[in-house]
A and B are shown apart, each in its own frame.
Chain A
Amino acid sequence: MRTAYLLAWLLLLEMTAFGQTSVTTGQWLRTGWKFHPGDNLAWADPAFDDHQWESLNPADYLQEWQQDRVAGSGWFRLRFRVAPALAGQPVTLLLSQIGASELYLNGRPIHRVGVVSAQPADEQTRYISHQPIHVTVLDTGVQVLAVRYSLTKSNFYFNLPIPVGWGDNPAYALQLEPATASVTNYARWEAVGAVPVAFTIGFFLVLAILHLFIYISFRKGKANLYFGLALVQLSIWRLIPPLLIWAELPVSLHYSLLWAGYGFGALAGTFIVLASYQVFRRKLDWGFITLAAFWLVVWATLPWNPQSITVSIAGTFLVMLLAAWVAFLSIRPGNRIGWLYLIGSGLWVLINLLMFQINPETNVSGMAVGQAAMDIIIPFVISIVLGNGYVRANRTLEAKLVEVEQLSQQALAHEREKQQLLSDQNKMLEQQVAVRTAELVTQKDELEQTLKNLRATQDQLVQKEKMASLGELTAGIAHEIQNPLNIVNNFADISVRLADELQQEMVAGNTEEVNTLTGYIKDNLQRVSQQGQRASAVVKSMVRLARTSSGEIEPTDLNALTDEYLRIAYQNLKAKNDSLTVDLRLHLDPSLGKVALMSQEMGQVLLNLYDNAFYAITEKGQRHPGGFQPQIEVTTRATEGRRVEIRVRDNGTGIPEEILPKIYQPFFTTKPTGQGNTGLGLALSFEIVTKGHKGELSVETELGEFTEFIISLPE
């Protein structure tokens, strides 16, 4: 893998030494050279005597030349003969050199490479490999080659060992070849080795483009980046040496570029391992770091390292070993791709070993093909492994896709199931709703029935209440009538007994007792009569109460009615109690028109209210004999809402709060019983006002101060 190989098959085996004996084609002009440092164009003369010059082979170590002999320039001279077969034939001299040179044949300049000078500023060196020099006239006599040569210390180069006797680097080397055949090593390499190298580089570049493109498309695959970069580096590394040979650059530039090329090689080795780590998903470990550090050191010290070839080969093996190790670690059931790595590495080692058995001179094509095979085998394996990764990924994806499809189908089925469930639930809910609705309807019906029942019950209750009031009324009536009747009965009963006693006393002639008894009987009869009238009055009131709604409604002058009944009431009062003088105040609203009402019934109401008022002031007058001015005030007026109002106000005793709720109850009275007082007056009045006229009867009072009854009627 090192330039050593490339150069190896460019070089030839050690040729047999010869003196001034004839040389033939295929031979290096290697022995018999004389050398003298310095510079003198006269030294080109064939006749110049160089016996004093030391013997030196210019194809020997350049290092020795530059360090130990001369800094600057010097001359080589060689005397030789050609084989008789070559005499007069055109031949080719193949030149390989590092430095600047001028070649003289028998004193005539025939070839020049660069510009020879001991001054670095003037000197122009070239790295030359197998440059043909065509020489046409050569006889069998002694030929003299003189080389004017320079390689100043300003030239950078480094010493890579070149196998098989040519020296590490040839300062100046010539090979005799026939002119007609394309026989240069370079040409041979070009014919046989260029294709494998071109193939290798093409292979590298195609793979590089492929993997870098994959990386650009899919940034997560770092292995592709590393591998792609490694391939680019390999391409550069492989491209540089032939390019340098072809370009024939100045020595310093040649070596600098060569060094850089080796750098790409080292970098490629590191990146291949890096890519392998990525491929097999292994974290970077000390193995990798060691390798990277190793390569860095090897590369950095390369120009000065006498063992550079060895350590480079060792580094290459280390690369293989690490990649194979990482691959080996990745091997597990289901992922055996690592084996491919191992097989690839094994093949590489095998080819490498075989390559050592190949003679680079005799089997150039074998070297080239073997080298190409070695070059591509690992990248090929890595590419396959990466591709396999993609295949696996695709398979996984395919499997995932199938899985996803299955899942989505499952999800779909699940969704359908859910919908089915939902619709089932909906149906169930609808059914439940229907059931509930039916229940509700039933409940509603039941409630309606209950309501009906309740209403019926209410009606019944109202009826019962009515009956109860009727019962109360009846009881009241009964009581009111029963009391006088009881008394009548009792007095009648007693009077019968008294009459018996009277008869007995009359027979006995007891006049005094007769008179007493007669008086009793007379009193009793009077009481019977009084109680009879009382009962009769109660019955009349009852009859009137029962007839409250029998009157006819007609337009009535309310003011006139109010006035008239006040006079009647006052006359009644005067008849009972002439001594009482009352301040009567009458405020009649002239705007009051005719009001639709039952005049007789309303008259009764007014009369009752007046009577009560007169009773209240009479009572108060009796309690306060002096200083009390009785007063009755009657007011009519039209009020809001098309209503009329009659107020009857007295400044009498007032009504105690506790009996206020009872005043409209039938038979409730505060007046003494008898004297035509039934306790029905206000009850009757309330009935007439509220039921007979849709009006309101209300009272305002303050105990000991006043009482005011208010009749409010719709107009």
Chain B
Amino acid sequence: MKILVVDDELDVQFLFEQRFRREIRSGELSFAFAHSGEEALNYLSQHPSEIILILSDINMPGMSGLELLRKIREHYPSPPPKIMMITAYGDVDTFNQAMSYGADDFLTKPLDFGGLKDKLNTTVGT
């Protein structure tokens, strides 16, 4: 399964690559990385129907994660990818907004990779 990670922090890529080294090597998971919302939209348009799950930071320069979420839900309705929002601030307003925009889940930083892995399994498994 292919996961698109959207975060302006470049180091996030290394984190994901190292943390899911075995899963990547076994071909269980594959990752694509985008460092901004614009980049993410660009990638999605070039690789339609490839991504199953999107993990997106909310607080980014330029297009924010929530805006990205809204645009994806507008322009890529079929087949809709799962989208999980990640933020450093777990405030209720942001959560509600994300959910109203059509987020599937809401994660807080620092990422609990163990929990994330379980969620991936559940999400994809179902």
Partner of A491 from the list B15, B59, B61, B89 (CB cut-off 8 Å) is B15
Assess whether A527 is in contact with B14, with CB atoms less than 8 Å apart: yes
Given contacts A486-B88, A486-B109, contact A673 B18 (CB under 8 A): no
Instruction: Return the chain B residue nearest A482 by Cβ.
Output: B88
Contacts of A478 in B (CB 8 A): 88
Assess whether B15 is in contact with A673, with CB atoms less than 8 Å apart: no
What is the interface of chain A mostly: helix, strand, loop, or mixed? Answer: helix
Question: In the assembly, what is the distance between CA of A494 and CA of B9, in Å?
Answer: 17
Given contacts A483-B9, A673-B9, contact A490 B88 (CB under 8 A): no
In chain A, residues 475-515, which have Cβ atoms closer than 8 Å to a Cβ of chain B? 475, 478-479, 482-483, 485-487, 489-491, 493-494, 497-498
In chain A, residues 524-539, which have Cβ atoms closer than 8 Å to a Cβ of chain B? 524, 527, 531
- Is B117's beta carbon under 8 Å from chain A? no
Contacts of A497 in B (CB 8 A): 19
Partner of B18 from the list A485, A489, A524, A670 (CB cut-off 8 Å) is A524
Interface pairs A-B: 9 shortest CB-CB: A486-B110, A487-B11, A490-B15, A494-B18, A486-B109, A482-B88, A489-B110, A527-B11, A479-B88
Assess whether A494 is in contact with B109, with CB atoms less than 8 Å apart: no
- Is A520's beta carbon under 8 Å from chain B? yes
Interchain residue pairs with CB less than 8 A apart (14): A475-B89, A479-B59, A482-B88, A483-B9, A485-B110, A486-B111, A487-B11, A490-B19, A490-B113, A491-B11, A491-B15, A494-B15, A523-B14, A669-B61
Question: In the assembly, what is the distance between CA of A289 and CA of B103, in Å?
Answer: 126
Interface residues of A (CB under 8 A from B): 475, 478-479, 482-483, 485-487, 489-491, 493-494, 497-498, 520, 523-524, 527, 531, 669-670, 673
Instruction: Return the chain A residue nearest B7 by Cβ.
Output: A483
Interface residues of B (CB under 8 A from A): 8-9, 11-12, 14-15, 18-19, 59, 61, 88-89, 109-111, 113
Contacts of B89 in A (CB 8 A): 475, 479
Contacts of A669 in B (CB 8 A): 61
Given contacts A483-B9, A527-B11, contact A520 B18 (CB under 8 A): yes
- Shortest C-beta distance, A527 to chain B (Å), equals 6
Contacts of A670 in B (CB 8 A): 61
Given contacts A483-B88, A523-B14, A527-B14, contact A490 B111 (CB under 8 A): yes
Instruction: Return the chain B residue nearest A501 by Cβ.
Output: B21
Choose among A494, A497, A520, A523 the residue with the greatest number of B CB atoms under 10 Å from its CB. A494
Given contacts A670-B61, A673-B8, A673-B9, contact A487 B15 (CB under 8 A): yes
Instruction: Return the chain A residue nearest B57 by Cβ.
Output: A483
- Shortest C-beta distance, B95 to chain A (Å), equals 16
Contacts of A475 in B (CB 8 A): 89
Question: In the assembly, what is the distance between CA of A527 and CA of B12, in Å?
Answer: 11
- Shortest C-beta distance, B57 to chain A (Å), equals 10
Contacts of B18 in A (CB 8 A): 494, 498, 520, 524
Contacts of B9 in A (CB 8 A): 483, 487, 673
Choose among B11, B88, B109, B113 the residue with the greatest number of A CB atoms under 10 Å from its CB. B11
Assess whether B19 is in contact with A494, with CB atoms less than 8 Å apart: yes
Given contacts A482-B109, A486-B110, contact A531 B8 (CB under 8 A): no
Question: In the assembly, what is the distance between CA of A669 and CA of B14, in Å?
Answer: 24
Contacts of A483 in B (CB 8 A): 9, 88, 109
Assess whether B61 is in contact with A490, with CB atoms less than 8 Å apart: no
Question: In the assembly, what is the distance between CA of A490 and CA of B113, in Å?
Answer: 9
Contacts of A523 in B (CB 8 A): 14
Contacts of A491 in B (CB 8 A): 11, 14-15
